[in-house]
Chain A
């Protein structure tokens, strides 16, 4: 992700790849909005939710959980030494949620009606309404939490910036409440489909599992994003960020290991309470074990070893491992184990157009992140606000 200012050219390999993805994304976008969903997706009545929900929304929301975990650690639990990591985590979460809403415009049939459930007709008995309301409010909260950085960059808005800084604690608490609600509700969405979701993944504890997994997903994403940022934006980081950086990675490794152990216990509980043991001997059982042992139990142990030995390299590798595990879990719940009884001809596989749009959304996120951190005080405290940084 070298910048044009460093290399003196726009034609770096990363920029070329990003340019190709953006160009393809624009073409598919035009097709989607001029010719409809059917022209670019493999969605059907059997499979109305594809990777735009399974990846863009479910994974996007889970991996954006670093915002509430980091700000809660700093402001609510009092780990002030992690203060330098709050702004990057909030920015990642803000962009993550913004892109979730952006991607949702592609997926819903009539995107101009997205505000209807909030402003026009509230479906208060629907889980989906609760998710929509929470995401709408939380995106606003994240925007307000991110805004001081933008106002410090533009200068001349000190009055508004100071008001927002004073609201930090309230916004953090609101963020934790809203995240608890909608992270779990995303799992609860699948509770209404007991006959469609494979019994190994269907459990009444699905909402708790989604919430618990979002916590270690968010922490892993903070470690992963921090590692990449250190590689590419090291020159933008001040001493406060650098001093707390390794400390944060170790602390989050410990916390993630502990939460993952609890998550494993929940997985076992779901298996035992619903008497699903007989499915473990099937093909789906093997895949379930790959997910639970290969992408939860082993990373949990790896995080614990990394923390014990203060092995940063292992912690960073495990963070990527865990992020992939969360993506696998969300894919399994929403796609692989969903409609498992349908004949293979009716099963869903994403079209090229769907994959291109997902890559397009991720690329926009990376470009927006790069644009913001190279201009605004994200990895450093603005010199003019050294004494009043929140």
Chain B
């Protein structure tokens, strides 16, 4: 599948970039999940 090291690294980095984009979006969702009940308490 990979003929050169360049091919392999390009493949790995491409997948990593996409995954990290997804992770960053998930972080926003997780932060909202974590803090959306805080408004009433406002303790932290």
Contact = CB atoms under 8 A, between A and B. Distances in A.
Residue from A274, A307, A310 with most neighbouring chain B CB atoms (10 Å): A307
Given A304-B34, A308-B34, A272 B12 contact: yes
A308 B15 CA distance: 33
Chain B contact residues, majority secondary structure = helix
Residue from B11, B13, B41, B43 with most neighbouring chain A CB atoms (10 Å): B43
A273 B23 contact: no
A250 B44 contact: yes
Contacts of B41: 310
Chain A contact residues, majority secondary structure = helix
B34 A254 contact: yes
Interface in B19-44: 19-20, 23, 27, 30-31, 33-37, 41, 43-44
Nearest to B12: A275
Contacts of A261: 27, 30
Given A247-B43, A250-B44, A273 B16 contact: yes
Nearest to B27: A261
A368 interface: no
Interface string A244-259: 0001001100100110
B19 A307 contact: no
A269 interface: yes
Contacts of A272: 12, 15-16, 19
A29 B40 CA distance: 57
A265 B12 contact: no
Interface in A51-106: none
A20 interface: no
Contacts of B20: 265, 269
B37 A269 contact: no
A274 B44 contact: no
A274 B34 contact: no
A268 interface: yes
B31 to A, nearest CB: 8
Contacts of A254: 34-35, 44
Contacts of A304: 30, 33-34
Nearest to B18: A272
Contact of B16 (A250, A257, A269, A308): A269
Contact of A273 (B12, B37, B43): B12
Interface of A: 247, 250-251, 254, 257-258, 261, 265, 268-269, 272-275, 304, 307-310
13 contacts: A250-B43, A257-B34, A261-B27, A265-B23, A268-B23, A273-B16, A274-B12, A275-B11, A275-B12, A304-B30, A307-B34, A308-B34, A309-B37
Interface of B: 8, 11-13, 15-16, 19-20, 23, 27, 30-31, 33-37, 41, 43-44
